[in-house]
Structure 1
């Protein structure tokens, strides 16, 4: 049970990688003959066999490896080489899908982690806002509490906006691979000479998990920055329905005052959400380890280029 949970998050790529020459049941002399007769096909087979042993899902690893070896043994015993070509093409497609699954699962896990942690951070910040002034013999009044609450609502809206921005631009899980500059070549591979996937799916999953978390963090900062600009009077284009000074009177709030308070919270939540939607503008902040030359690349880059 624990292994299944761990593999769902981190993938099942573990253990020693075996080369074709180490697989039992295949005549080494016949294998050398196949290398001489079909060098390109054997190069792709070798790359896919290695990639299958580090596939993200265990069932993919087992199924693809067994199918490739079954086809290779059949050809080594005299079967038509077309069977091996078919097995290689199918293996490339399955490994491409496995890599897309790894990327999607990693990114979704990172985004979910950011959303789950957001309310925890909000509670901690609010508690510190109440506790820290007391250390200096001061306390928060009505206006200060409303300002802090508005900032936290805007903060939460930024996290939701960032997550929504990513989800909208990722209708196809394979977009993760294309936008991460891990293309799909012949037979679903893109290594040297089409010999195998250009990225380790386990590493891709971990990198995109971190990237999903970073995108939520970017949404936090953008929302907080926009809140400071609006609440500080620097950006006057947007005006809250009610200011803390208007809502904090000597007596209890009227019905209109309660309505203005609710509208103010919705206003700051919407401001944060709109700010979080623009997390893709933080270009260059999120860098993918598989991108050649260290160029910035993220799941949203393909949507921008198109």
Structure 2
């Protein structure tokens, strides 16, 4: 079946589409004064409210996508148009000029107050959704970077430790102390990235408010990097016996005749993963751990 189209109909559709595109461009690029008719007069009636609308329009321009900015612009134009119409109707019900002006100003202010709350709630909802999306993208990049960094650290540090020891001992393989030190380091830093990732996921959750003004793709990525650093810091403090709140199970493991076949090998591994998770997940725990005084019991351990 062949459908014949009239050239005139296609031309009208193209003109309509061009007209809609031109209107969208005008609404997005023109300042608020250029798209809201009579805004200077309304600014004289309700200056603070108009300032609030201008601020919300600026927020939409900075943090919303083009489609959502266009919706906010149309809601704003409709709000001012409705306010002027309701104000004109209210002024006709008065008996003198002074009362007409008062009724008009009060009605315009009331309508603008009502619409301001609805537009602000709309912008807040959209900007929060976009902030969560940016936060999630940063989270994915952080997880990928954690995997790559841990793999590179394992490969580089293994060879580096052997190279640094070779002039003295001439060995080509890691001895048990070096192996477990490297393993604990990777386990703790990996746990730190996992704990930070858990923290990021909680922030992305629907019940947690994400500040859209300060949230970017780098925010979650930096949060995971902090998890690495906190975990590495706790690792150094515990391994160096600077913080003696709990003993290092790997030290007990190394006293065994065959550390690799000892039953405590898994316990020590998960111990350092758990320490890393706590360090990456909760900065307050790290601060309390570092600032906690060492007791005589801790010194004995």
Structure 2 Cα separation of the partners of residues 205 and 17 of structure 1? 25
TM-score by length of 2: 0.64
State which structure, 1 or 2, has the greater radius of gyration over its C-alpha atoms. Answer: 2
Equivalent pair of 2:189/2:231 in contact (CA under 8 Å) = yes
Please tell me whether residue 279 in structure 1 is matched to residue 283 in structure 2: yes
User: Unaligned 5+ residue runs, structure 1?
Assistant: 1-14, 178-200, 284-306
| Corresponding residue number in structure 2 for 1:205 | 215
Aligned match for 1:245, one of 235, 246, 254: 254
| Corresponding residue number in structure 1 for 2:182 | 148
Whichever structure has more helix as a proportion of its residues is 2
Deviation (angstroms), 1:91:
0.9
- Secondary structure, counterpart of 1:53 in structure 2: helix
Aligned pairs (5 A) from 1:132-211: 132-133=160-161, 135=163, 137=166, 138-139=171-172, 140-165=174-199, 167-168=201-202, 175-177=209-211, 201=212, 204-206=214-216, 209-211=217-219
1:143-193 per-residue CA deviation (whole Å, 9 max, x = no partner) reads 31222011100111112223334555776666433xxxxxxxxxxxxxxxx
Mean Cα deviation higher: 124-133 or 33-42: 33-42
Aligned match for 2:41, one of 33, 48, 53: 33
Aligned match for 2:269, one of 265, 268, 288: 265
- Secondary structure, counterpart of 1:104 in structure 2: helix
1:46-101 per-residue CA deviation (whole Å, 9 max, x = no partner) reads 32233333332444322221111123234445466344433222111112223333
- Secondary structure, counterpart of 1:176 in structure 2: coil
Count of residues paired in the alignment? 234
Structure 2 Cα separation of the partners of residues 99 and 173 of structure 1? 15
Give the root-mean-square deviation of aligned CA atoms. Answer: 3.3
| Corresponding residue number in structure 2 for 1:99 | 127
Mean Cα deviation higher: 274-283 or 97-106: 274-283
User: Unaligned 5+ residue runs, structure 2?
Assistant: 1-26, 90-106, 288-301
Equivalent pair of 1:108/1:212 in contact (CA under 8 Å) = yes
Aligned CA distance change for structure 1 residues 51 and 222 (closer, same or farther; 3 Å): closer
Aligned match for 2:113, one of 60, 77, 85: 85
TM-score by length of 1: 0.63
Structure 1 Cα separation of the partners of residues 122 and 269 of structure 2? 48
Higher relative contact order by CA 8 Å / sep ≥ 6: 1 or 2? 1
Structure 2 Cα separation of the partners of residues 97 and 231 of structure 1? 47
